[in-house]
Amino acid sequence: MVPSKTLGYMAPMLSLAVLLFLSRFLEFPSISSPLPTAGLPDPRAAAAATTIPATPRRKEPFTDLVGAFDRWDKVVGCERFREKHRGWAPNASALQEAGTGDCRGLEVPHVSVLVKGWTWIPDNLDQMYSCRCGLSCLWTKSEVLGDKPDALLFENVRPPLQDSNSASCFHVIGTSKDGCMEVGSVGPDAASGNLRQKGGPLRVYMDLEASRKPSGFEDIFIGYHAKDDVQTTYAGALFHNSRNYHVSRQKRSDALVYWSSSRCLPDRDQLAKSFLSLVPHHSFGKCLNNVDGLDMALDFYPECSNGENSPPHWYDHLHCAMSHYKFVLAIENTVVESYVTEKLFYALDAGSVPIYFGAPNVWDFVPPNSIIDGSKFSSMEELAAYVKALAADPVAYAEYHAWRRCGVLGNYGKARATSLDTLPCRLCEYISRKGGKNLRTL
Ligand SMILES: *[C@@H]1O[C@H](CO)[C@@H](O)[C@H](O)[C@H]1NC(C)=O
């Protein structure tokens, strides 16, 4: 008899017939969500999963990640992994196409964007960009360098109401067309703010929060969704500037899951608690803290310090700290389609495996077999049992890192290509296609 612990890994490797046969006799934690088919959108992929032979393994709470990789290379290997995920079919429309439009559609060869209001846009996005199709793109927070901007960008800060004394209401692109009407009628008497001086800079508004609410006073809207004028995903390196990028080779085998949350939303805490109570974990934030206080990560992992004298911020050492754990619990504050935030991508970047609760279409944003989709399990007990089994199986665990080592990306490549990192060129190209400041009126 095979111990049921190993079944989680074996299941996808056995033929369906064997599975159905066995399941009559054994208590499966889950047939529908075993590694690595959990969350697969495409049943064809499950069929393809039979290519890797099943080898029952003994329970082995390993700590050396690179050693686990070596084992996986011998037992499975990239070739089989690629084969297995050939049928992977994420929804291509969940992400905009970056860098594919016809260059002849560009109407102006240079665009300058002045970042006028912001809450978190990083300073080091400022640059003169050399974009595709020979387009140049100045992105700056400086009113000196960007003295005659084609566009003003506001992020979580509303574009000014009194923008113009112009007589016509400009076409509001995309989702916020109604915004033009709600503040006054279109025409000479529209003494409202939703007017753009003819030839004046376009107003760009960015809101990457779950609600992605246009301000009603913009010409171009940037959100995380493919339907927004310009999409910006959270899969960008610029979301974590000034981090300590050390990645630990050793994974803890005592505490399996890292969690850190300091905005203690009742629903999120409830969910976290119901899972974390079943697995050994460390919770570093304010919510459900179990490491004897805040800012303990540097006490645990001195190598995660940035070596500066200034008081450490939690986000400086987040990446490094989570790399010591096999799993990172990532729970979005809101469950909305396509709202996949840095909470998940941090964990992937840090060489950990996210246990994710959030967007139902998360697989459209991440590589095959890279995360554990918590919502696919029928109970927290089942999820916890699965996570514990995986933590004691170096080969099965290593398979969650195979995408990175074998270059199997699914839609993740596109998600990165539409991240904040590439926003300047993509926005400039969008503006150029619309004719720059000559963007036509209604
Ligand atoms: C694909 O993604 C788009 C954008 O998120 C969505 O509108 C559409 O419903 C999705 N299609 C399927 C089949 O899930």
Within 10 angstroms of residue 342's Cβ, the number of other Cβ atoms is 19
Q: Which residues line ligand 1 (CB under 6 A)?
A: 91, 93-94, 226, 337-338
The SS3 call for residue 347 is helix
Q: Indicate the helix (H) or strand (E) that contains 83.
A: helix 78-84
> What local confidence, expressed as pLDDT, does residue 308 receive?
72
- Decide which of 48 and 342 is more confident: 342
Residue 398: pLDDT above 90?
yes
Residue 425: pLDDT above 80?
yes
pLDDT band at 161 (very low <50, low <70, confident <90, very high): low
Helix, strand, coil content of the chain in percent (nearest 5): 35, 15, 50
Dihedral pair phi/psi, residue 244, rounded to 5°: -85, 115
> What local confidence, expressed as pLDDT, does residue 194 receive?
55
Residue 22: pLDDT above 90?
no
Location of structure tokens 């203690």? 264
**Residue with CA nearest ligand 1 atom 4:** 94
- Sheet with 327-331, strands from edge to edge, namely 281-283, 257-259, 327-331, 353-357, 372-373
- Decide which of 194 and 146 is more confident: 146
Pairwise CA distance, residues 411 & 41, whole Å: 13
- Sheet with 127-130, strands from edge to edge, namely 127-130, 136-140, 110-117, 151-155, 202-206, 220-223, 230-231
Indicate the fold that domain 240-410 takes in CATH. Rossmann fold (3.40.50)
Pairwise CA distance, residues 137 & 114, whole Å: 11
Going from the Cα of 364 to the center of ligand 1, the distance in angstroms, rounded, reads 9
Give the amino acid at 80. R
Going from the Cα of 80 to the center of ligand 1, the distance in angstroms, rounded, reads 29
**Residue with CA nearest ligand 1 atom 14:** 91
Pairwise CA distance, residues 296 & 328, whole Å: 17
> What local confidence, expressed as pLDDT, does residue 238 receive?
84
- The percent of residues in the chain predicted with pLDDT above 90, rounded, is 68
318 in Cβ contact with 346 (< 8 Å): yes
Ligand 1 atom at minimal distance to the Cα of residue 361: 14
Pairwise CA distance, residues 218 & 289, whole Å: 42
Pairwise CA distance, residues 253 & 199, whole Å: 62
**Residue with CA nearest ligand 1 atom 2:** 94
Tell me whether domains 90-160+196-232+419-441 and 240-410 share a fold: yes
Query: Residues of 52-77 as b/e, b for ≥16 C-beta within 10 angstroms?
Result: bebeebeeeebbebeebbebbeebbe
> What local confidence, expressed as pLDDT, does residue 39 receive?
37
Lowest mean pLDDT among 110-114, 121-125, 176-180, 227-231: 176-180
Dihedral pair phi/psi, residue 331, rounded to 5°: -120, 120
**Residue with CA nearest ligand 1 atom 11:** 91
Location of structure tokens 């113009």? 164
Pairwise CA distance, residues 228 & 392, whole Å: 43
**Residue with CA nearest ligand 1 atom 13:** 91
Ligand 1 atom at minimal distance to the Cα of residue 337: 5
> What local confidence, expressed as pLDDT, does residue 169 receive?
37
Pairwise CA distance, residues 35 & 8, whole Å: 6
Dihedral pair phi/psi, residue 31, rounded to 5°: -95, -30
Digit-coded pLDDT (tens) for 174-205: 334 333 333 333 333 333 445 666 778 999 99
> What local confidence, expressed as pLDDT, does residue 56 receive?
57
119 in Cβ contact with 154 (< 8 Å): no
Going from the Cα of 231 to the center of ligand 1, the distance in angstroms, rounded, reads 15
CATH 1.10.3470 fits 90-160+196-232+419-441, yes or no: no
The DSSP secondary-structure symbol of 243 reads: -
> What local confidence, expressed as pLDDT, does residue 18 receive?
39
Digit-coded pLDDT (tens) for 288-345: 999 999 889 999 999 998 877 777 787 889 999 999 999 999 999 999 999 999 999 9
> Which whole number is the average pLDDT over 4-33?
38
Cβ contacts of 122 within 8 Å, gap of 6 or more? 238, 241
- Decide which of 172 and 82 is more confident: 82
- Decide which of 319 and 28 is more confident: 319
Residue 435 Cα distances to 150, 169, 276, 432, angstroms? 10, 17, 53, 5
The SS3 call for residue 283 is strand
> What local confidence, expressed as pLDDT, does residue 440 receive?
58
- Looking at the DSSP bridge assignments, the partners of residue 202 are 151
Q: What value does the mean pLDDT of the chain take?
A: 82
Going from the Cα of 365 to the center of ligand 1, the distance in angstroms, rounded, reads 12
- The percent of residues in the chain predicted with pLDDT above 70, rounded, is 78
The DSSP secondary-structure symbol of 325 reads: S
Pocket test for ligand 1, best of 361, 362, 363, 411 (most atoms within 8 A of CB): 361
Pairwise CA distance, residues 34 & 215, whole Å: 44
Spatial CA neighbour of 392 closest among 253, 248, 249, 257: 253
Helical axes 314-322 vs 342-349, angle rounded to 10°:
50
Domain boundaries, the chain: 90-160+196-232+419-441, 240-410
Digit-coded pLDDT (tens) for 242-264: 788 899 999 999 999 999 999 99
Pairwise CA distance, residues 416 & 176, whole Å: 26
> What local confidence, expressed as pLDDT, does residue 239 receive?
78
Going from the Cα of 340 to the center of ligand 1, the distance in angstroms, rounded, reads 15
Residue 52: pLDDT above 90?
no
**Residue with CA nearest ligand 1 atom 12:** 91
Going from the Cα of 361 to the center of ligand 1, the distance in angstroms, rounded, reads 9
442 in Cβ contact with 177 (< 8 Å): no
- CA-CA-CA-CA torsion for 194, 198, 202, 203, nearest 10 degrees? -20
